[in-house]
Amino acid sequence: MGTGALFIAVFLACVVEAVEATTIVLAAGTARDWRSATSGMAGALAVLAIVVVALGPAVSDVPLRGLRLFVGALLLVFGLQWLRKAILRASGHKALHDEDKIFAEQLATASAKARRSAGLVPDWYGFTLSFKGVLLEGLEVVFIVLTFGANARDVGLAAVAAACAVVLVAAVGVAIRAPLRRVPENTMKFVVGIMLTAFGTFWGAEGAGAHWPGSDAALLVLIPGIAVFALALVAVLRGNPAPAAERS
């Protein structure tokens, strides 16, 4: 796997997760209290750092074949979930992911809750909202970094790609203090779904003992092949609108 492909796959996946976490932190800060929201974010980042430090070396020590089987299976399941949702969204069978709408909903919910301080945290609800949002989205980032990095035997590069994505999104979010509506999130989720599915297919089959024709070059067929197949499914579904479509 080329370092460029590793960097792009991890960067794109982490941008998507970071945008979602940023929306939650912005909602917590705007509706409740910025100090509590940033404290919650910092607390979650500290927990995630501990998870990376604890699991990183352990994952790198697992024999490559077993790692590829386990990680390939998980990536394939995750990738198919992402791709399935992306196809449903692109074909109009599921509402597009809308950061503005999510931000407004989070804002309304957060504004309705009573304020309660706890220790050094001025607003406990704002803290926990931010903490949970960053931790849950961050766990996906950690998973992507460790699995892609360990499989490519380059956790460092995967971590750099993730850090670039998180810092970029966080900086833009802090600068504009508004949901990142201009990020083409739905398109990026489509691309990430294709890449996770392709790498999951490749590594999963290799881990189970298969030898791909052309070795690593098989990815150059798998990625465009899955992309074309997904686009064809979008075209087919667009021609068959469902009355009670998936909407959330």
DSSP letters, 56-68, are HHHHHHS-HHHHH
| Per-residue DSSP letter, 118 | B
Q: Which of 21, 83, 121, 192 binds another protein (CB under 8 A)?
A: 83
CB of 81 to another protein, least distance (A): 4
Say if residues 146 and 61 touch (Cβ distance below 8 Å). Answer: no
Q: Does residue number 25 form part of the binding site for another protein (CB under 8 A)?
A: no
State which amino acid sits at residue 231.
Answer: L
Residues facing 118 on adjacent strands: 121
Q: Which residues contact 52 (CB under 8 A, 6 or more apart)?
A: 142, 145, 146, 159
Q: Which of 58, 210, 217, 220 binds another protein (CB under 8 A)?
A: 210
Q: Does residue number 213 form part of the binding site for another protein (CB under 8 A)?
A: yes
Say if residues 203 and 75 touch (Cβ distance below 8 Å). Answer: yes
CB of 122 to another protein, least distance (A): 28
Residue 8 burial (CB count, 10 A):
15
If the CB atoms of residues 173 and 207 are measured against another protein, the closer one turns out to be 207
CB of 176 to another protein, least distance (A): 30
Say if residues 192 and 9 touch (Cβ distance below 8 Å). Answer: yes
Span near another protein by CB under 8 A; candidates 10-18, 22-30, 37-45, 81-89: 81-89
Q: Does residue number 204 form part of the binding site for another protein (CB under 8 A)?
A: yes
Residue 2 burial (CB count, 10 A):
10
CB of 38 to another protein, least distance (A): 25
Span near another protein by CB under 8 A; candidates 80-88, 100-108, 117-125, 178-186: 80-88
d(CA 23, CA 70): 32
Span near another protein by CB under 8 A; candidates 52-60, 152-160, 184-192, 208-216: 208-216
Residues binding another protein (CB under 8 A): 69, 72-74, 76-78, 80-81, 83-85, 87-88, 93-94, 197, 201, 204-205, 207-213, 218, 222, 225-226, 229-230, 233, 237, 240, 242, 244-248
